[in-house]
Amino acid sequence: MHEIQVHNTLSGKIEPFVPLEAGVVHMYTCGPTVYDFAHIGNFRTFVFQDILRRFLKLRGFKLIHVMNLTDVDDRIIANAAAAGLGIREYTEKYVQAFFADCRTMSVESPEHWIRATENIQSMVELIQKLQKKTYTYDSEGSIYYRITKFKDYGKLSKIDLSGIQAGARVDNDRYEKESARDFALWKAPKPGEHFWETTIGPGRPGWHIECSAMAMKFLGETIDIHTGGIDLAFPHHENEIAQSEAATGKPFVRYWMHAEHLLVEGEKMSKSLGNFFTLRDLFGKGYKPSALRFALASVPYRRQLNFTFDGLQQATSSVERLRNFAARLKNEKFPAGKQAAMAERIAKAASDFDAGLSDDLNTAQALAAMFDFVREANIAMDKGEFRQGEVKTAQEFLATFEKVFAVLEDNDAEKLEALGYGGNEGSPADAEIEKLVAERQAARKRKDFAESDRIREVLSERGIILEDTKDGSVRWKRK
């Protein structure tokens, strides 16, 4: 086994990973803000942190991992008020959808799921600590953090603080990189908004104090790993450090690990560009959860991931290749005996796999170790050189792989059915077919024949036959 090394955003370096308490990893992940369905960019980060926790467990660590659900922030308050619903009522649908998405994507549950709204008192106490140490000031019923008082402000994101204006404040939970400003720890209630009556006054917590308070409550004052998307490094994580370290005088996080952005077909994902996809959009188009998980996991987390439909198609084939190989091991009868060279080959693959993941979670290298082995083993099987004596070790290696990547088990159909897609309950609805037909027409128009063929295939699998007419229109019927 290889020494585990990870990139720490705080130091900007690759460092050996050694937890504070031997054998135990205390880890925190910023979870979703539950005001909408999760999109593939969100799940790039959630799949990354899942691979990380699975690998650490594989290497024998006990995990104490917390993921929070931000169920109160600016957008939730505004959306809930607009919908005429309470916060809990409004967010519950998205909380349940997120849990279902995690199950579908084989993202393991952390040891603790925590809701911000159930930990308001811890946030209030942390703010009181900061008040006592004079890191705060009040203004119009809100409480702000004075960032000039925290001399290490900016150490995570390396933000340039030369233009910083003392006393310049920001009330939004999310703000731009250029504006390092005093941020709200506690916000005074606005008319019609949800608020809590507390010892520091009526109001609601800012987004940043939520994570500091919940991380320290469940994991202690110094935690091993904090993960999130790179877009959270500033201001969110910078502010978490400022709050936590000012309150305790201790280092808050030992390893900060951030996943890079995801692009879609080379562009930033945005609703206005029409390239914005929730997981459910893709499942509705007939893509499998295993393929999506594979596609998101296959690019090392610190590299930008360019999500493409070609790539997703390749991921589908890659998963298929692995499942076929697993089936071959299980079902075929090989000549009896052992072959030393193959036994060595399997040991090398397992070692390369571990080396890849140990090297700052280099998933591409770990996958290459698996696929190189599969290719060679398939050739050996075709030539009749693979022996029965190697089946068990090869299966053990696949099982190790599965503990981290979790794509071998062929349960996509059940998962999709559980989410309300596909299944055997009958043919897809007309509206869904029309939507796919229109997408195929659009693909043909832009001469993306791979995509148009793929959609034809998806429809065919679901019992729909397409007939292209001379005038370029298309008819469809059920088989």
Tell me if residue 359 falls in helix, strand or coil.
strand
Nearest to 443 by CA among 433, 435, 453: 453
In the complex, minimum distance from the CB of residue 392 to Zn ion, in angstroms, rounded to a whole number: 44
Least distance (Å) between residue 410 CB and Zn ion: 35
Identify residue 218 by its one-letter amino acid code: F
CA distances from 207 to 119, 120, 300 (A): 12, 11, 29
Residue 314 CB burial class (10 angstroms; 0-12, 13-18, ≥19): middle
Whichever of 123 and 458 has its CB closer to Zn ion, that residue is 123
Residue 47 C-beta: closest distance to Zn ion, Å: 18
Q: How far is the CB of 132 from Zn ion (least distance, A)?
A: 24
Give me the least distance between CB of 76 and Zn ion, in Å please: 14
Site for Zn ion in 450-469 (CB under 5 A): none
Tell the smallest beta-carbon distance from residue 207 to Zn ion (Å). Answer: 7
Residue 80 or 211: which CB sits closer to Zn ion? 211
How many angstroms separate the Cα of 245 from the Cα of each of 133, 160, 262? 12, 20, 31
CA distance 291 to 319: 7
Is residue 297 within the footprint of Zn ion (CB under 5 A)? no
211 binds Zn ion per the rule CB under 5 A = yes
Tell me the site size for Zn ion, rule CB under 5 A. 2
Selected range binding Zn ion among 3-11, 126-134, 211-219, 398-406, rule: CB under 5 A: 211-219
- Residue nearer to Zn ion on the CB measure, 124 or 291: 124
Q: How far is the CB of 233 from Zn ion (least distance, A)?
A: 11
Beta carbon nearer to Zn ion, 211 or 437: 211
**Cα 415 to chain centroid, rounded:** 18
Q: Up-side HSE of residue 79: CA atoms within 13 Å toward CB?
A: 16
Applying the rule CB under 5 A, the residues between 16 and 75 that interact with Zn ion are 30
| Angstrom distance (rounded) from CA 54 to CA 363 | 13
What are the φ and ψ backbone dihedral angles of 38, each rounded to 5 degrees?
A: -70, 145
Per CB under 5 A, the segment of 155-163, 206-214, 268-276, 345-353 that binds Zn ion is: 206-214
229 vs 356, which CB is nearer to Zn ion? 229
b/e string for 101-130 if b means 16 or more Cβ within 10 A?
Answer: bbebbbbeebbeebbbbebbebbbbbbbeb
In angstroms, give the least distance from the CB of 384 to Zn ion. Answer: 56
Inter-CA distances, 6 with 11, 18, 227, 362, Å: 11, 10, 12, 10
Does 370 bind Zn ion (CB under 5 A)? Our answer is no
Residue closer to Zn ion, measured from CB, 244 or 318: 244
> Binding segment for Zn ion among 150-158, 205-213, 308-316, 351-359 (CB under 5 A)?
205-213
Instruction: Give the single-character DSSP code of 236.
Output: I
Q: How far is the CB of 408 from Zn ion (least distance, A)?
A: 32
Alpha-carbon distance 189 to 173, whole Å?
15
3-state secondary structure of 167: coil
State yes or no: cis peptide before 251, omega within 30 of 0: no
Q: Cβ of residue 170: shortest distance to Zn ion, in angstroms?
A: 17
Write the CA distances from 55 to 175, 297, 352, integer angstroms.
34, 13, 14
177 or 190: CB nearest Zn ion: 177
Stretch that binds Zn ion, among 110-118, 203-211, 254-262, 318-326 (CB under 5 A): 203-211
- Of 50-58, 208-216, 268-276, 358-366, the segment contacting Zn ion by CB under 5 A is 208-216
Name the burial class of residue 11, with classes exposed (0-12), middle (13-18) and buried (19+) by CB atoms within 10 angstroms of its CB. exposed
SS3 for 370?
A: helix
Please state, in angstroms and rounded to a whole number, the distance separating the CA atoms of residues 436 and 432: 6
Residues 90-109 that bind Zn ion (CB under 5 A): none
Rg (CA), the chain: 25
Query: Cβ of residue 226: shortest distance to Zn ion, in angstroms?
Result: 8
- Of 261 and 321, nearer to Zn ion (C-beta) is 261
Q: Measured from the CB atom, is 107 or 211 closer to Zn ion?
A: 211
When the beta carbons of 67 and 394 are compared against Zn ion, the nearer one is 67
Q: Which is nearer to Zn ion, 154 or 206 (CB)?
A: 206
Under the rule (CB under 5 A), what is the footprint of Zn ion?
A: 30, 211
